[in-house]
Amino acid sequence: MIRHATLAILASTALAAFSAAAADAPATPMNGMLVGPNQMTLYVFDRDIAGSGKSACNGGCATNWPPLMATSGAAPAGDWSVVQRDDGATQWAYKGRPLYYWSKDGKPGDTTGDGMLNNAWHVAKP
């Protein structure tokens, strides 16, 4: 009986720790893709070099593909890192790849940006 109670406590502690970590993540998995806090689909760009710490989508590109911005003082954790943008702002990256929204997606679950620009844009996946 004590063993079962101990296992139940350990399981609930692990679940709470996982839930807290997930709550701190800048995006969450939903239906096999990453979504931002607003539940809108996130994308990655083939022209970004994973792990470079920079975004290749600036200026007009960022108007169409708004970055998933990081707040000042945002700290990398696990698969999440922060990249520097040309304008000095910071943006979240997942596994070294900067994340973006697509301005033409109208509602959560839309993936109209997938395959855009000669298949250079892709839905971000966990």
> What tens digit of pLDDT does each residue of 8-67 get?
443 333 333 333 344 578 999 999 999 999 999 999 999 999 999 999 999 999 999 999
Residue 111 burial (CB < 10 Å; 0-12/13-18/19+)? middle
User: CA 114 to CA 102: how far, in whole Å?
Assistant: 9
CA-based end-to-end distance of the chain: 38
CB within 8 A of 36, min separation 6: which ones? 26, 27, 42, 68, 99, 101
> What tens digit of pLDDT does each residue of 50-98 get?
999 999 999 999 999 999 999 989 999 999 999 999 999 999 999 999 9
Q: Which amino acid is at 95?
A: K
